[in-house]
């Protein structure tokens, strides 16, 4: 299971109402580091999918949600627990660093 996609229409159901922690990856096509971190998140989704759900939100397509969550730099990763942002990771990081950042959730 690689990282899925989330849109404004599905945000509530997939992210805010999830019983598991959800990591939302705010990305865009023109953002190099976002594309670099994509496969890393797919890997993590494959390995830890039972503990945390990982989804990607395209900030070009869903700018209202990006503005709502104050995105000023991508890639930006928000971890949501019970509908609230509990952690924000900004910038592309290598897999070991991301796993460390997500320690409490996986």
Q: Give yes or no: 34 in active site.
A: yes
| 35: phi then psi, degrees, rounded to nearest 5 | -65, -35
36 near other proteins, judged by CB under 8 A? yes
99 near other proteins, judged by CB under 8 A? no
Given a contact cutoff of 8 angstroms between Cβ atoms, the answer to whether 53 and 21 are in contact is yes
92 near other proteins, judged by CB under 8 A? yes
CB of 12 to other proteins, least distance (A): 24
Q: Give yes or no: 62 in active site.
A: no
Residues that bind other proteins (CB under 8 A): 28, 30-33, 36-37, 40, 66, 70-74, 76, 90-96
């Amino acid at each position: 299971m690689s990282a899925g996609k989330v849109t404004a229409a599905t945000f509530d159901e997939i992210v805010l109402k999830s019983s598991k922690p959800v990591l939302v990856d705010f990305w865009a096509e023109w953002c190099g580091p976002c594309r670099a971190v994509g496969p890393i998140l797919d890997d993590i989704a494959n390995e830890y999918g039972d503990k945390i759900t990982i989804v990607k939100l395209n900030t070009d397509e869903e700018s209202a949600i990006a503005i709502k969550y104050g995105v000023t730099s991508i890639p930006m990763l928000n971890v949501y627990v019970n509908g609230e942002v509990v952690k924000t990771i900004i910038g592309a990081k290598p897999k070991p660093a991301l796993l460390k950042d997500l320690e409490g959730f996986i």
